[in-house]
Chains A and B, each alone.
Chain A
Amino acid sequence: MAGIPVKTCFGLLITALMAIKLSAQNPPGLNFNYSQNNNTYVWENSYNKIINIGEYYSELNLNTESTLMKKPYKRWQETLAADYRGNYKIKDWLSLVPFINHTRNTLQNRLVYSSEAKISSAYTGYKYLEVSPFIGNKGLQRKGEGTERSNWGFGYGAEVNSRNLEIYGNALTASLSYETYDIQYIPYSDFRAELGGFRRWGYGDSLKWNIYDWETSKKYYSATGSGEKIMRQVKVERAADYLARITLPGKYVARLSANLLRTSYYYNPLTTVSSISEFNNYTQSETYTIQIEKVLFNRLKLSSGYRWYTDKQDFRGSYLDLWSELGELSIKAALTIAPNDTLNGDCIIGVTSYYGLHDPAADERDMQTQIYTGRFKHVFNQYLWGELKGIFSDFHQIYIRSVNSASNNQNQTYLVNSTFGWDLFDAFSLIQSWEIQANYITYDYDRQTINTRNQIFRRSSSNTKLTWRISPAFTFISGYMYRYEDYGKLYWNENNWQQATGWDRRYHRIELKADYKLMKIFYFEPTHIWELRKEYNHSFVDDRVIRQRKNRDLKMTTGLGFTWNLADSGYITLSYNRRDWESSNIADNISEFINISVRYLF
């Protein structure tokens, strides 16, 4: 079994290489990727070739992917896909387009083939229309476990698209298409109609709109319930949307958009269905946004917007029937205080409410969202810059019904970050950042002093990165990171929150990396990463807090990477990483990762 995918990969590679020799006009591409770790081996290959002979244009695509997983037991999975598309121009207004596609999917001894052959003819003899009728054939074959099954059948259809259509400055696009395939047991047909327009005027103002109707009818083998049965499904999707930018008096700019969508599914009513997913159903949604922008004093850019969204999901009386509504307000400001000082701020406030569609539902809830962000950046001089950032977010989940309201909670996060960049001289740069954050989760109805679910998580970190370009061919990068985290319960005591730490952990990471260009076309990247993580548990014994080490993890990863650039025609990369992992909780572990990539343009 193991030999089959390998043989197939090499077979396809040889075919691809032969194809290169036989036809060479435009540069084709060949990609080969191989990677492995302790458990998984992956081969990925692709070949793409464009062949032009006189008035005949064609494109060949071959893709293969093979995966071997060794544990818990050996599994081979393969996907092979080949397609070929041509275009022969008989006259300026008539062309012939052949298309062939074949795929092979395997998993262990299960095998699925699918194939398609199609020929269409594009006629552009009309001034405003392009007509493309087609005939084709599709086939699907399954082998391996279970019933061996083949389905195939012929199909036909046509597509009509508008060309060069413009009315009063509106560029209009219209298209109609219909296709049907009489595939044994699982036939399908598809109808699509689309109409759209685009107009631009004034100082960058524009209006873009689109409406469409898609209707599909198909039969399929239902996977739900016991035994095999064939279901008939009709899907109808209708939508309309627009996007406009309008300059208002006083140089205000308004951006407006709307989107309406309704999707309905109808199933064969004569079949007894076991799954709710095969009930007749529809979903319907509407989104409207308005945003107003203005630049003041050439320094301050302000924008304010509102978004309203609603959707409805109706399974005709099932418990899934819900509708929701969102109202969201956003405000953004960007201020250039001085050439070296910029200040940005934005906030988003919104509520999404969920309601039962026909009757009150247990899942009815509100989710209130507030996110505030502020950022200040100062450039001290050409060598030094600094940035301060602060974020606050609050998500308040409110279940309305008593059955779920015990889960109502507020999830608040505070974050402060500062980053400084220092370019000491051309070849040497240093970036240093610090960050502190806290996350509070408090349950609206939980004020217990024991077994409480209220909690706090805190984190602080420092990150230093140094880049030293020793010579044009040699760059050295080093970094150090330290992070502290703790987590614990929050007790509601004497009308105030009190923290009881449950665990803490510290993390150190040192990274050393070099980028060495031995020659213009060949470079070499050695890496070494050292990581240490220590975790401690806090327990309360005899009125005393005892801190005990829970875990110590030490990981050392050493890697070597080689890249060989083949001028403009491609590259070859090889990388090898070895990780030694020592842990106080599990046995020492050594992992090896190998990756080979080849890309070649002929």
Chain B
Amino acid sequence: MKKTTIVFMIPFLIVCGCLKNPFATRHSESPAGVTGTWETPASPETAIRNLLYACNEKIVQNYQSCLADDFVFSAPEDSIRAESQGSGYLYYNWDKNTEILTAQNLFSTFGSTGYQLLLSMLESASNPDSIGDTIAVIYREYVIRIIVADSVGIDTTNARGLATFRLNQAQFGFWNIYFWRDLPDTVGGYDWGQLKAMYRQ
């Protein structure tokens, strides 16, 4: 039994050695900035509200927590247009990892001076939400105001469209987005999918 204990201590010995200690965290500086908002995603609507907060507050960790591990993003109109321009690859295999890296890129850009990104969402009158016991489909009409200010002036662009979120219940019964489909509000209009594709890494 003594030998068993020693052998099972090997991973612990590695931990105590030169590698990363899974118990130790760093100390943080006292807060001086704005704070993030997060609600327990006990309902599909709350999960979508968390996504809205994460976008406006530009907090990648909260954004990431809204998405399921098997998350997929699809922008069918944008991807067909991109395909015809030879840049269809921008929309290929858009999974959770891609989404987080894209959000990181987007939030970093719009977190810097002169850049602003303001997202607003409304329930869609023509597409009522469908909420089941374990699966839900939420429709949101959105407007993103993209403001870029530089020495030349202030440039404001709006991205508008309809976002369809499919959610399911994950660990502890909390809701996650596993599928996100984006459509512009007019044919060929500028939408969220195009904005994200510009910041895909």
Contacts and interface: CB of A to CB of B under 8 A. Distances in A.
B86 A221 contact: yes
A225 B180 CA distance: 25
Nearest to B111: A362
Contact of A591 (B29, B33, B126, B130): B130
B51 to A, nearest CB: 16
6 contacts: A107-B77, A112-B83, A145-B81, A326-B20, A398-B25, A441-B40
A268 interface: no
Interface string B105-135: 1001101100000000000101110100100
A397 interface: yes
A477 to B, nearest CB: 16
B38 to A, nearest CB: 6
A141 to B, nearest CB: 9
B contact patch SS: loop
B86 A151 contact: yes
Contacts of B112: 319
Interface stretch (A10-18, A288-296, A334-342, A563-571): A288-296
Interface residues of A, number: 96
Contacts of A437: 172-173
Interface of B: 3-4, 7-8, 10-12, 14-15, 19-40, 42, 59-62, 76-77, 80-87, 89-90, 104-105, 108-109, 111-112, 124, 126-128, 130, 133, 162, 171-174, 183, 185, 187-188, 194, 197-201
B4 to A, nearest CB: 6
A140 B197 CA distance: 21
A325 interface: yes
Contacts, number: 215
A527 interface: no
A362 B77 CA distance: 36
Contacts of A72: 124, 126-127, 162, 185
Contacts of B60: 363
A351 B8 contact: no
Contacts of B173: 437, 459
A401 interface: yes
A586 B124 CA distance: 12
A306 B12 CA distance: 8
Contact of A223 (B27, B87, B105, B171): B87
Contacts of A228: 85
A176 to B, nearest CB: 24
B185 to A, nearest CB: 7
B22 A186 contact: no
Contact of A327 (B20, B34, B76, B183): B20
Contacts of B201: 277, 281, 320
A292 B8 contact: yes
A512 interface: no
A450 to B, nearest CB: 15
B59 A112 contact: no
B85 A223 contact: yes
A365 interface: yes
A110 B81 contact: yes
A402 B89 CA distance: 38
Interface string A158-198: 00000000000000000000000000011000000000000
A549 to B, nearest CB: 17
Contacts of A468: none
A573 interface: no
B25 A351 contact: yes
Contacts of B90: 223
A329 B105 contact: no
Interface centre among A77, A290, A306 (most CB of B within 10 A): A306
Given A72-B162, A306-B15, A292 B29 contact: no
A327 B19 contact: yes
B78 to A, nearest CB: 9
A252 interface: yes
Contacts of B76: 77, 107
B80 A105 contact: yes
